[in-house]
Amino acid sequence: MNKIIIALSLLAVVLQACAQNPENKEKPEIKKIKLPEVQKSFALNDYLAENADLDKEVDAIFKSLDDTAIVAQLIMPAIGRLGQTEATIKSHIKQRIIGGVLMLNGTKKEFTDWISLFNNMNDTIQNVPFLYSADAEPSLVNRKIIGSRPVKKANEMKTIDEVRAYTDTISKDLNEIGINYNFSPVVDMSPNKTVGFRSFGAVPANIIPWSNAFIEQTQKHNIIATAKHFPGHGLVSGDTHKSLQVIDGELKEISNYPKLIADGVLSVMVAHIAVKNNPKYDTKGLPSTTSSVIVTDLLRNEYGFKGLIVTDAMNMGGVTAIPNCEVKAVEAGCDIVLMPVDAKKAHTEILKKYRSDAAFKAKVDASAKRVIRMKLCVGAMK
């Protein structure tokens, strides 16, 4: 009996000590990886070129990652008004489940401070550095980034020289903030009310040369440019933020892309737009973002695009009704899943399929390597 009393007394002391010292509670360990040192520096124009040294660096970094970090390369949530909180993004970084962040609706100082904070966190726990993106289109940038230098809206510009000058202005702001990925230019036709004023389509003949000028100037500033919204948003009537829109028949706007791809645009954004009554490119009721017919067969294979394919925001009405939409986007061939409703859930679902499906794993690995390659070429990894 005495032994039992003594044992109970000791247990009570231990429990009391734990209650008084909550730091003694077991905390989930943040697993660290050891990134290899990058041996050489690269530039954006190295991305599309044959480069054995770059291939070697990509492979070395990729092989240092576990599957959690590999899947993370494909996931990019947003921070700012209409995005996630700072606390949420910090939690994602600690859990190693994201590979970049979209700066969405905030001030130039807020974005600069956040990027500095996230870079320091990644350095501390040896995360792969991030791609930092923005919707810094001429028509939106002064609203999306408060405190940015004033520029004309895309549909108000009068000459290609103006396009180049205002692109330089936008790019200087992005360089100062630390943003290395611009989801611009919009290369859609002008009729659609939600995207028309954001493109150079007021004069249809200007779309390709002026978009090319924007892309060239952006990438000269060491910022990834993005042609959007593939396969074309300008000739549909509705708003993909609210619901799935449909191209009925011919893809009239895809002719805007081959020249931009041939001239070196490094990223293309795919829209939440279905295609019907088109024997070759019918998406079977799915948005293009989740259709391999559009992402892989058309953009990747037929057009030979080798850069990053990013989804439009995955919290938009045009895609949220699709079950496991983030998994389906990756399966379709997208490299970056932008603004998932729940980044943790998206990571968990993609990782689960990654671990059980060899074909899916191969797609994720290829996408992760493309993202890592871009991070090296943009100088995120030095």
Give catalytic residues, as residue numbers.
241, 312
Is the CB of residue 281 less than 8 Å from the CB of residue 275?
Answer: yes
Is the CB of residue 218 less than 8 Å from the CB of residue 171?
Answer: yes
Pinpoint the alpha helices (H) of the chain.
Answer: 2-20, 52-63, 67-72, 86-95, 108-125, 141-144, 160-177, 207-220, 257-262, 292, 325-332, 343-356, 358-377
Q: What is the DSSP string of 238-280?
A: S-TTTS-EEEES--TTGGGHHHHHHTT--EEEEPSEEEES-TT
Q: Which two tokens stand for residue 296?
A: 């892989």
Question: What is the number of other CB atoms lying within 10 angstroms of the CB of residue 49?
Answer: 11
The whole-angstrom separation of Cα 268 and Cα 262 is 13
Q: Is 96 left (phi over 0), alpha (psi -120 to 50) or beta?
A: left
130 closest CA partner among 167, 168, 92, 83? 92
Q: What is the DSSP string of 130-182?
A: PEEEE---TTTHHHHEETPPP---GGG--SHHHHHHHHHHHHHHHHHHT--EE
For residue 79, the cross-strand partners are 84, 103
